[in-house]
Amino acid sequence: MQNNKFPQDFLWGAATAAYQVEGAWNEDGRGESIWDRFSHTPGRITNGDTGDIACDHYHRWEEDIALMRRLGLKAYRFSTSWSRVLPGGRGLINPKGLDFYDRLVDRLCVANIEPLLTLYHWDLPQTLQDEGGWENRSTAHAFADYAALMVKRLGDRVKYWTTFNEPSVITYIGFITGEHAPGFQDPRVAYQVAHHLMVAHGLGTQAIRAANADVNAGIVLNLWPAEPASDSVEDVAAANKYWEKQETLFLDPIFKGHYPPAVYNMVGPNMPKIQDGDMALIAQQLDFVGINFYSRHVISSTGELKEIEGSEYTEMGWEVCAPALRRMLVKINSEYNLPPIFITENGASFKDEVSADGKIHDPRRIDYLKNHFIQTRLAMLDGVDVHGYMVWSLMDNFEWGLGFSKRFGLTYVNYATQQRVLKDSGEWYAEVIRKNEVWEYHT
Protein backbone atom coordinates (compact mmCIF):
# COMPACT_ATOMS: atom_id res chain seq x y z
CA MET A 1 0.00 0.00 0.00
CA GLN A 2 1.27 3.47 -0.84
CA ASN A 3 1.90 5.52 2.27
CA ASN A 4 -0.41 8.33 1.30
CA LYS A 5 -3.28 5.93 0.52
CA PHE A 6 -5.70 5.11 3.30
CA PRO A 7 -7.04 1.56 3.78
CA GLN A 8 -9.83 0.62 1.38
CA ASP A 9 -12.49 0.48 4.10
CA PHE A 10 -11.39 3.69 5.89
CA LEU A 11 -14.49 5.56 7.01
CA TRP A 12 -14.27 9.18 5.88
CA GLY A 13 -17.09 11.15 7.40
CA ALA A 14 -18.33 14.33 8.99
CA ALA A 15 -19.98 15.01 12.32
CA THR A 16 -22.74 17.11 13.87
CA ALA A 17 -24.69 17.06 17.15
CA ALA A 18 -28.42 17.30 17.76
CA TYR A 19 -28.69 20.60 19.62
CA GLN A 20 -26.18 22.25 17.31
CA VAL A 21 -28.08 21.54 14.09
CA GLU A 22 -31.61 20.27 14.58
CA GLY A 23 -33.65 23.27 15.73
CA ALA A 24 -37.38 22.44 16.13
CA TRP A 25 -36.78 22.76 19.84
CA ASN A 26 -40.44 22.52 20.82
CA GLU A 27 -41.96 20.69 17.84
CA ASP A 28 -43.62 17.31 17.55
CA GLY A 29 -43.58 16.65 21.28
CA ARG A 30 -39.91 17.33 22.01
CA GLY A 31 -39.24 18.09 25.69
CA GLU A 32 -37.05 20.88 27.02
CA SER A 33 -33.34 20.16 27.46
CA ILE A 34 -30.77 21.91 29.65
CA TRP A 35 -29.43 23.65 26.55
CA ASP A 36 -32.86 25.12 25.76
CA ARG A 37 -33.06 26.43 29.30
CA PHE A 38 -29.49 27.74 29.24
CA SER A 39 -29.68 29.45 25.86
CA HIS A 40 -33.02 31.04 26.78
CA THR A 41 -31.38 32.59 29.84
CA PRO A 42 -30.25 36.14 28.99
CA GLY A 43 -26.50 36.69 29.04
CA ARG A 44 -25.46 33.07 28.62
CA ILE A 45 -24.77 32.91 24.86
CA THR A 46 -22.92 35.32 22.57
CA ASN A 47 -25.41 37.63 20.81
CA GLY A 48 -28.29 35.94 22.64
CA ASP A 49 -28.23 33.12 20.06
CA THR A 50 -30.16 29.91 20.71
CA GLY A 51 -30.51 26.50 19.10
CA ASP A 52 -34.26 27.03 18.61
CA ILE A 53 -33.83 26.89 14.83
CA ALA A 54 -30.08 26.28 14.44
CA CYS A 55 -29.59 24.74 10.96
CA ASP A 56 -33.20 23.60 10.82
CA HIS A 57 -31.86 20.11 10.16
CA TYR A 58 -35.03 18.61 11.66
CA HIS A 59 -36.86 19.81 8.56
CA ARG A 60 -33.97 19.85 6.08
CA TRP A 61 -32.47 16.44 6.83
CA GLU A 62 -33.13 15.15 3.30
CA GLU A 63 -31.29 18.10 1.79
CA ASP A 64 -28.50 17.47 4.28
CA ILE A 65 -28.19 13.84 3.27
CA ALA A 66 -27.99 15.02 -0.35
CA LEU A 67 -25.10 17.22 0.78
CA MET A 68 -23.40 14.22 2.37
CA ARG A 69 -23.79 12.34 -0.92
CA ARG A 70 -22.25 15.23 -2.79
CA LEU A 71 -19.28 15.06 -0.44
CA GLY A 72 -19.13 11.31 -0.98
CA LEU A 73 -19.17 10.69 2.79
CA LYS A 74 -18.77 7.09 3.83
CA ALA A 75 -19.96 7.85 7.37
CA TYR A 76 -22.00 10.40 9.28
CA ARG A 77 -21.64 10.95 13.01
CA PHE A 78 -24.64 12.56 14.69
CA SER A 79 -26.27 12.56 18.10
CA THR A 80 -29.83 11.94 19.13
CA SER A 81 -31.72 14.34 21.35
CA TRP A 82 -32.76 12.50 24.51
CA SER A 83 -35.65 14.90 25.17
CA ARG A 84 -36.93 14.48 21.61
CA VAL A 85 -37.53 10.78 22.17
CA LEU A 86 -38.21 10.83 25.92
CA PRO A 87 -39.52 14.34 26.64
CA GLY A 88 -39.42 13.79 30.40
CA GLY A 89 -36.08 11.93 30.30
CA ARG A 90 -37.71 8.61 31.22
CA GLY A 91 -41.08 6.94 30.86
CA LEU A 92 -43.34 8.28 28.16
CA ILE A 93 -41.91 7.81 24.65
CA ASN A 94 -42.45 10.42 21.94
CA PRO A 95 -43.07 8.33 18.79
CA LYS A 96 -42.57 11.29 16.47
CA GLY A 97 -39.11 11.84 17.90
CA LEU A 98 -38.12 8.22 17.37
CA ASP A 99 -39.60 8.28 13.86
CA PHE A 100 -37.39 11.22 12.95
CA TYR A 101 -34.20 9.27 13.73
CA ASP A 102 -35.64 6.16 12.12
CA ARG A 103 -36.16 8.01 8.82
CA LEU A 104 -32.74 9.63 9.03
CA VAL A 105 -31.00 6.29 9.58
CA ASP A 106 -33.04 4.60 6.85
CA ARG A 107 -32.07 7.24 4.34
CA LEU A 108 -28.41 7.15 5.37
CA CYS A 109 -28.41 3.42 4.72
CA VAL A 110 -29.98 3.92 1.30
CA ALA A 111 -27.22 6.45 0.57
CA ASN A 112 -24.63 3.90 1.72
CA ILE A 113 -23.47 6.18 4.53
CA GLU A 114 -22.53 4.42 7.77
CA PRO A 115 -24.31 6.03 10.75
CA LEU A 116 -22.25 6.59 13.93
CA LEU A 117 -24.65 7.50 16.68
CA THR A 118 -23.82 9.40 19.89
CA LEU A 119 -26.42 9.06 22.61
CA TYR A 120 -25.37 12.05 24.69
CA HIS A 121 -23.91 15.21 23.23
CA TRP A 122 -24.69 17.42 26.24
CA ASP A 123 -28.46 17.96 25.99
CA LEU A 124 -29.87 16.43 29.19
CA PRO A 125 -33.66 16.57 29.49
CA GLN A 126 -34.49 19.50 31.78
CA THR A 127 -36.81 17.35 33.93
CA LEU A 128 -33.83 15.17 34.89
CA GLN A 129 -31.80 18.28 35.70
CA ASP A 130 -34.64 19.38 37.96
CA GLU A 131 -34.12 16.11 39.87
CA GLY A 132 -30.40 16.80 40.30
CA GLY A 133 -29.15 15.91 36.82
CA TRP A 134 -25.81 14.11 36.66
CA GLU A 135 -25.18 14.78 40.32
CA ASN A 136 -27.96 12.28 41.00
CA ARG A 137 -26.97 8.66 40.36
CA SER A 138 -30.46 7.80 39.13
CA THR A 139 -29.74 9.84 35.96
CA ALA A 140 -27.20 7.15 35.02
CA HIS A 141 -29.97 4.53 35.17
CA ALA A 142 -32.30 6.73 33.12
CA PHE A 143 -29.50 7.04 30.56
CA ALA A 144 -29.16 3.25 30.31
CA ASP A 145 -32.92 2.94 29.68
CA TYR A 146 -32.71 5.60 26.98
CA ALA A 147 -29.75 3.76 25.41
CA ALA A 148 -31.69 0.49 25.35
CA LEU A 149 -34.70 2.17 23.74
CA MET A 150 -32.57 3.66 20.97
CA VAL A 151 -30.65 0.46 20.24
CA LYS A 152 -33.85 -1.60 20.12
CA ARG A 153 -35.24 0.77 17.52
CA LEU A 154 -32.13 1.51 15.43
CA GLY A 155 -29.62 -1.22 16.25
CA ASP A 156 -30.57 -3.26 13.19
CA ARG A 157 -29.06 -0.45 11.05
CA VAL A 158 -26.72 1.54 13.31
CA LYS A 159 -23.57 -0.47 14.03
CA TYR A 160 -21.56 2.14 15.95
CA TRP A 161 -22.92 3.50 19.24
CA THR A 162 -21.16 5.93 21.51
CA THR A 163 -22.41 6.64 24.98
CA PHE A 164 -20.96 10.12 25.64
CA ASN A 165 -19.32 12.92 23.75
CA GLU A 166 -16.47 14.58 25.66
CA PRO A 167 -17.23 13.87 29.33
CA SER A 168 -14.44 16.28 30.28
CA VAL A 169 -16.19 19.22 28.61
CA ILE A 170 -19.43 18.28 30.34
CA THR A 171 -17.58 18.23 33.67
CA TYR A 172 -15.21 21.17 33.44
CA ILE A 173 -17.20 23.63 31.32
CA GLY A 174 -20.65 22.67 32.57
CA PHE A 175 -19.78 22.43 36.27
CA ILE A 176 -16.52 24.32 36.99
CA THR A 177 -16.31 27.31 34.63
CA GLY A 178 -20.09 27.34 34.16
CA GLU A 179 -19.87 28.45 30.53
CA HIS A 180 -21.99 25.52 29.36
CA ALA A 181 -25.34 24.19 30.57
CA PRO A 182 -26.30 23.73 33.30
CA GLY A 183 -23.89 26.55 34.24
CA PHE A 184 -22.64 25.40 37.66
CA GLN A 185 -19.39 26.61 39.21
CA ASP A 186 -18.92 24.00 41.87
CA PRO A 187 -15.99 21.54 41.90
CA ARG A 188 -17.70 19.34 44.46
CA VAL A 189 -20.63 18.76 42.13
CA ALA A 190 -18.29 18.52 39.14
CA TYR A 191 -16.34 15.50 40.38
CA GLN A 192 -19.51 13.70 41.42
CA VAL A 193 -20.92 14.42 37.95
CA ALA A 194 -17.70 13.09 36.38
CA HIS A 195 -18.09 9.82 38.25
CA HIS A 196 -21.79 9.49 37.43
CA LEU A 197 -21.03 10.10 33.76
CA MET A 198 -18.64 7.17 33.97
CA VAL A 199 -21.23 5.02 35.75
CA ALA A 200 -23.73 5.97 33.04
CA HIS A 201 -21.17 5.04 30.40
CA GLY A 202 -20.77 1.63 32.03
CA LEU A 203 -24.51 1.02 32.45
CA GLY A 204 -25.13 2.40 28.95
CA THR A 205 -22.55 0.05 27.43
CA GLN A 206 -24.23 -2.90 29.13
CA ALA A 207 -27.66 -1.73 27.95
CA ILE A 208 -26.45 -1.29 24.36
CA ARG A 209 -25.06 -4.82 24.30
CA ALA A 210 -28.07 -6.35 25.99
CA ALA A 211 -30.36 -4.74 23.43
CA ASN A 212 -28.32 -5.93 20.45
CA ALA A 213 -25.24 -8.11 20.74
CA ASP A 214 -24.15 -7.33 17.17
CA VAL A 215 -23.49 -3.61 17.55
CA ASN A 216 -20.25 -1.86 18.57
CA ALA A 217 -20.11 0.22 21.73
CA GLY A 218 -17.66 3.02 22.47
CA ILE A 219 -17.18 6.50 23.88
CA VAL A 220 -15.80 9.77 22.50
CA LEU A 221 -13.03 11.57 24.43
CA ASN A 222 -11.56 14.95 23.56
CA LEU A 223 -7.84 15.07 24.20
CA TRP A 224 -5.52 18.05 24.22
CA PRO A 225 -1.94 16.88 24.53
CA ALA A 226 0.27 18.84 26.89
CA GLU A 227 3.64 19.36 25.21
CA PRO A 228 6.72 20.85 26.85
CA ALA A 229 7.84 24.33 25.80
CA SER A 230 11.45 23.06 25.66
CA ASP A 231 13.46 19.89 26.22
CA SER A 232 14.43 20.99 29.73
CA VAL A 233 13.75 18.45 32.47
CA GLU A 234 11.56 21.01 34.27
CA ASP A 235 9.36 21.76 31.26
CA VAL A 236 8.98 18.08 30.40
CA ALA A 237 7.99 17.28 33.98
CA ALA A 238 5.51 20.18 34.03
CA ALA A 239 3.93 19.03 30.77
CA ASN A 240 3.60 15.45 32.03
CA LYS A 241 1.97 16.68 35.20
CA TYR A 242 -0.42 18.90 33.25
CA TRP A 243 -1.44 15.99 31.02
CA GLU A 244 -2.11 13.76 34.04
CA LYS A 245 -4.20 16.38 35.79
CA GLN A 246 -6.18 17.58 32.80
CA GLU A 247 -6.51 14.70 30.37
CA THR A 248 -6.52 11.39 32.23
CA LEU A 249 -9.66 11.77 34.34
CA PHE A 250 -11.63 9.66 31.85
CA LEU A 251 -8.91 7.76 29.98
CA ASP A 252 -7.66 6.07 33.16
CA PRO A 253 -10.92 4.73 34.58
CA ILE A 254 -12.12 3.53 31.17
CA PHE A 255 -8.89 1.90 30.04
CA LYS A 256 -7.08 1.17 33.32
CA GLY A 257 -9.95 0.68 35.74
CA HIS A 258 -8.91 3.33 38.28
CA TYR A 259 -8.92 7.10 38.63
CA PRO A 260 -5.61 8.89 38.09
CA PRO A 261 -3.89 9.53 41.44
CA ALA A 262 -2.73 12.95 40.14
CA VAL A 263 -6.35 14.05 39.85
CA TYR A 264 -7.64 12.58 43.05
CA ASN A 265 -4.77 13.96 45.10
CA MET A 266 -5.87 17.43 44.14
CA VAL A 267 -9.62 16.79 44.49
CA GLY A 268 -9.39 16.58 48.27
CA PRO A 269 -12.76 17.17 49.94
CA ASN A 270 -14.50 17.09 46.55
CA MET A 271 -13.85 13.36 46.19
CA PRO A 272 -16.97 11.77 44.68
CA LYS A 273 -18.92 8.90 46.19
CA ILE A 274 -17.87 5.69 44.45
CA GLN A 275 -19.76 2.45 45.05
CA ASP A 276 -18.33 -1.06 45.10
CA GLY A 277 -18.19 -2.47 41.61
CA ASP A 278 -18.24 0.91 39.87
CA MET A 279 -14.70 0.72 38.54
CA ALA A 280 -15.25 -2.68 36.90
CA LEU A 281 -18.48 -1.38 35.37
CA ILE A 282 -16.65 1.62 33.92
CA ALA A 283 -13.68 -0.34 32.60
CA GLN A 284 -15.62 -2.76 30.40
CA GLN A 285 -13.87 -3.67 27.17
CA LEU A 286 -15.04 -1.34 24.39
CA ASP A 287 -15.31 -2.07 20.68
CA PHE A 288 -13.87 1.28 19.66
CA VAL A 289 -12.91 4.66 21.05
CA GLY A 290 -13.52 8.03 19.41
CA ILE A 291 -10.90 10.74 19.78
CA ASN A 292 -11.67 14.41 19.20
CA PHE A 293 -8.59 16.49 18.50
CA TYR A 294 -8.30 20.22 17.88
CA SER A 295 -5.12 21.58 19.42
CA ARG A 296 -2.55 21.21 22.21
CA HIS A 297 -1.33 22.94 25.36
CA VAL A 298 2.28 24.11 25.49
CA ILE A 299 3.58 23.92 29.05
CA SER A 300 6.67 25.30 30.73
CA SER A 301 7.72 25.00 34.35
CA THR A 302 6.19 28.44 34.96
CA GLY A 303 2.82 27.67 33.38
CA GLU A 304 1.01 27.40 30.06
CA LEU A 305 2.28 29.42 27.11
CA LYS A 306 -0.64 31.23 25.53
CA GLU A 307 1.03 32.48 22.36
CA ILE A 308 3.61 30.39 20.51
CA GLU A 309 5.81 32.46 18.25
CA GLY A 310 5.32 31.56 14.60
CA SER A 311 2.20 29.50 15.26
CA GLU A 312 -1.12 29.98 13.51
CA TYR A 313 -4.31 30.31 15.60
CA THR A 314 -7.91 29.59 14.65
CA GLU A 315 -10.89 31.84 15.41
CA MET A 316 -11.32 29.90 18.65
CA GLY A 317 -7.83 31.04 19.68
CA TRP A 318 -6.59 27.45 19.37
CA GLU A 319 -3.07 26.85 18.10
CA VAL A 320 -2.80 24.89 14.85
CA CYS A 321 -0.32 22.05 15.40
CA ALA A 322 -1.06 18.92 13.39
CA PRO A 323 2.09 16.97 14.40
CA ALA A 324 0.77 17.03 17.99
CA LEU A 325 -2.04 14.75 16.81
CA ARG A 326 0.39 12.07 15.63
CA ARG A 327 2.47 12.36 18.78
CA MET A 328 -0.60 12.06 20.98
CA LEU A 329 -2.02 9.06 19.11
CA VAL A 330 1.32 7.28 19.44
CA LYS A 331 1.50 8.16 23.14
CA ILE A 332 -1.96 6.96 24.12
CA ASN A 333 -1.54 3.89 21.96
CA SER A 334 1.53 2.89 23.93
CA GLU A 335 0.18 3.85 27.37
CA TYR A 336 -3.30 2.30 27.14
CA ASN A 337 -4.70 -0.91 25.78
CA LEU A 338 -6.99 0.79 23.28
CA PRO A 339 -9.58 -0.72 20.97
CA PRO A 340 -9.75 0.49 17.32
CA ILE A 341 -9.75 4.28 17.11
CA PHE A 342 -11.90 6.69 15.15
CA ILE A 343 -11.03 10.35 14.92
CA THR A 344 -14.56 11.43 15.74
CA GLU A 345 -13.94 15.19 15.48
CA ASN A 346 -11.28 17.39 13.97
CA GLY A 347 -11.71 20.71 12.26
CA ALA A 348 -11.18 24.44 12.52
CA SER A 349 -13.13 27.64 12.83
CA PHE A 350 -12.01 30.44 10.52
CA LYS A 351 -13.67 33.65 9.41
CA ASP A 352 -15.61 32.51 6.35
CA GLU A 353 -17.17 34.96 3.96
CA VAL A 354 -19.13 34.53 0.77
CA SER A 355 -17.02 35.93 -2.10
CA ALA A 356 -18.29 37.86 -5.10
CA ASP A 357 -18.33 34.56 -7.03
CA GLY A 358 -20.77 33.15 -4.47
CA LYS A 359 -18.15 30.72 -3.15
CA ILE A 360 -16.46 30.38 0.21
CA HIS A 361 -12.71 30.24 -0.22
CA ASP A 362 -11.26 28.73 2.93
CA PRO A 363 -7.67 27.70 2.14
CA ARG A 364 -6.65 27.76 5.81
CA ARG A 365 -9.24 25.09 6.64
CA ILE A 366 -8.01 22.96 3.72
CA ASP A 367 -4.44 23.24 5.03
CA TYR A 368 -5.57 22.45 8.56
CA LEU A 369 -7.44 19.32 7.50
CA LYS A 370 -4.79 18.17 5.05
CA ASN A 371 -2.06 18.35 7.67
CA HIS A 372 -4.15 16.51 10.24
CA PHE A 373 -5.02 13.78 7.73
CA ILE A 374 -1.32 13.39 6.96
CA GLN A 375 -0.38 13.19 10.62
CA THR A 376 -3.08 10.59 11.19
CA ARG A 377 -1.77 8.52 8.30
CA LEU A 378 1.73 8.77 9.76
CA ALA A 379 0.41 7.63 13.14
CA MET A 380 -1.20 4.66 11.39
CA LEU A 381 2.16 3.82 9.84
CA ASP A 382 3.58 4.03 13.37
CA GLY A 383 1.13 1.29 14.33
CA VAL A 384 -1.93 3.16 15.61
CA ASP A 385 -5.14 1.43 14.53
CA VAL A 386 -7.31 4.26 13.12
CA HIS A 387 -10.45 3.17 11.28
CA GLY A 388 -12.09 6.42 10.28
CA TYR A 389 -12.11 10.20 10.42
CA MET A 390 -15.07 12.48 11.04
CA VAL A 391 -14.48 16.12 10.16
CA TRP A 392 -16.09 18.64 12.47
CA SER A 393 -18.38 19.71 11.04
CA LEU A 394 -20.63 18.79 8.15
CA MET A 395 -21.95 22.34 8.30
CA ASP A 396 -21.63 25.56 10.28
CA ASN A 397 -23.75 25.31 13.41
CA PHE A 398 -24.51 26.52 16.93
CA GLU A 399 -21.16 26.64 18.72
CA TRP A 400 -22.56 26.41 22.26
CA GLY A 401 -21.75 29.47 24.41
CA LEU A 402 -20.38 31.23 21.33
CA GLY A 403 -23.61 30.85 19.40
CA PHE A 404 -23.33 31.28 15.63
CA SER A 405 -20.23 33.46 15.85
CA LYS A 406 -17.87 30.59 14.99
CA ARG A 407 -17.99 28.57 11.79
CA PHE A 408 -16.45 25.08 11.61
CA GLY A 409 -18.36 23.70 8.63
CA LEU A 410 -17.33 22.10 5.36
CA THR A 411 -20.59 23.73 4.31
CA TYR A 412 -21.47 27.38 4.81
CA VAL A 413 -24.90 27.98 6.34
CA ASN A 414 -26.67 31.26 5.70
CA TYR A 415 -28.73 31.41 8.88
CA ALA A 416 -31.17 33.97 7.43
CA THR A 417 -32.18 31.76 4.50
CA GLN A 418 -30.88 28.37 5.67
CA GLN A 419 -29.14 28.04 2.33
CA ARG A 420 -26.20 25.63 2.40
CA VAL A 421 -23.13 26.26 0.20
CA LEU A 422 -20.25 23.82 0.05
CA LYS A 423 -17.02 25.65 0.93
CA ASP A 424 -13.82 25.08 -1.02
CA SER A 425 -12.78 22.78 1.84
CA GLY A 426 -15.91 20.70 1.19
CA GLU A 427 -15.06 20.36 -2.52
CA TRP A 428 -11.49 19.48 -1.56
CA TYR A 429 -12.62 16.91 1.02
CA ALA A 430 -14.83 15.22 -1.59
CA GLU A 431 -11.71 14.76 -3.70
CA VAL A 432 -9.75 13.29 -0.76
CA ILE A 433 -12.54 10.79 -0.17
CA ARG A 434 -12.80 9.91 -3.85
CA LYS A 435 -9.06 9.28 -4.14
CA ASN A 436 -8.79 7.87 -0.61
CA GLU A 437 -5.46 9.58 -0.22
CA VAL A 438 -3.75 12.74 0.92
CA TRP A 439 -1.22 14.37 -1.27
CA GLU A 440 1.64 16.87 -0.67
CA TYR A 441 2.93 14.31 1.72
CA HIS A 442 5.63 15.40 4.17
CA THR A 443 7.16 13.55 7.08
223 vs 254, beta carbon nearer ligand IFM = 223
Which of 32, 166, 247, 319 is the catalytic position?
166
How many angstroms separate the CA atoms of 151 and 145, rounded?
10
Give the one residue of 17, 170, 211, 360 binding ligand IFM; rule: CB under 6 A: 17
Q: Of 182, 230, 221, which Cα lies nearest the Cα of 198?
A: 221
Phi, psi torsion values for 312, nearest 5 degrees: -95, 145
| DSSP-assigned letters across all residues of 171-236 | HHHHHTS--STT----HHHHHHHHHHHHHHHHHHHHHHHHH-TTSEEEEEEE---EEESSSSHHHH
Q: How far is the CB of 197 from ligand IFM (least distance, A)?
A: 15
Residue 307 designated active-site = no
Count of residues in contact with ligand IFM, rule CB under 6 A: 9
252 binds ligand IFM (CB under 6 A): no
126 vs 349, beta carbon nearer ligand IFM = 349
Give the one residue of 80, 94, 129, 292 binding ligand IFM; rule: CB under 6 A: 292
257 vs 317, beta carbon nearer ligand IFM = 317
Residue 345 designated active-site = yes
10 vs 400, beta carbon nearer ligand IFM = 400
CA dihedral angle for residue 56, residue 35, residue 173, residue 371, rounded to 10 degrees: -10
Q: How far is the CB of 169 from ligand IFM (least distance, A)?
A: 7
6 vs 35, beta carbon nearer ligand IFM = 35
Q: How far is the CB of 340 from ligand IFM (least distance, A)?
A: 21
How many angstroms separate the CA atoms of 163 and 201, rounded?
6
Tell me how far apart the 2 most distant CA atoms of the chain are, in Å: 64
Q: How far is the CB of 269 from ligand IFM (least distance, A)?
A: 31
Q: Of 345, 411, 388, which Cα lies nearest the Cα of 64?
A: 411
Q: How far is the CB of 141 from ligand IFM (least distance, A)?
A: 25
235 vs 345, beta carbon nearer ligand IFM = 345
For residue 51, the tally of other CB atoms under 10 A from its CB is: 28
CA dihedral angle for residue 226, residue 229, residue 235, residue 238, rounded to 10 degrees: -30
What is the enclosing helix (H) or strand (E) of 391? Answer: strand 386-392
Of 66-125, binders to ligand IFM (CB under 6 A) are none
Which of 135, 247, 319, 345 is the catalytic position?
345
How many angstroms separate the CA atoms of 329 and 291, rounded?
9
Q: Of 108, 43, 51, 45, which Cα lies nearest the Cα of 83?
A: 51
35 binds ligand IFM (CB under 6 A): no
Give the one residue of 135, 345, 352, 362 binding ligand IFM; rule: CB under 6 A: 345
CA dihedral angle for residue 285, residue 288, residue 293, residue 297, rounded to 10 degrees: 20
166 binds ligand IFM (CB under 6 A): yes
127 vs 397, beta carbon nearer ligand IFM = 397
153 vs 180, beta carbon nearer ligand IFM = 180
Q: How far is the CB of 359 from ligand IFM (least distance, A)?
A: 24
319 binds ligand IFM (CB under 6 A): no
How many angstroms separate the CA atoms of 298 and 242, rounded?
10
Contact 321, 291 (CB under 8 A): no
Helices 138-154 & 187-211 angle (0-180, nearest 10):
30
Of 179-238, binders to ligand IFM (CB under 6 A) are 222
Q: How far is the CB of 93 from ligand IFM (least distance, A)?
A: 26
Contact 243, 160 (CB under 8 A): no
Give the one residue of 392, 404, 412, 429 binding ligand IFM; rule: CB under 6 A: 392
399 binds ligand IFM (CB under 6 A): yes
Q: How far is the CB of 132 from ligand IFM (least distance, A)?
A: 24
Q: Which one-letter DSSP state was computed for residue 297? A: E
How many angstroms separate the CA atoms of 317 and 436, rounded?
31
In b/e form, how buried is each residue of 213-246, taking b as 16+ CB within 10 angstroms? eebbbbbbbbbbbbbbbeeeeebbebbeebbbeb
Catalytic residues: 166, 345
Footprint of ligand IFM (CB under 6 A): 17, 20, 166, 222, 292, 345, 392, 399, 408
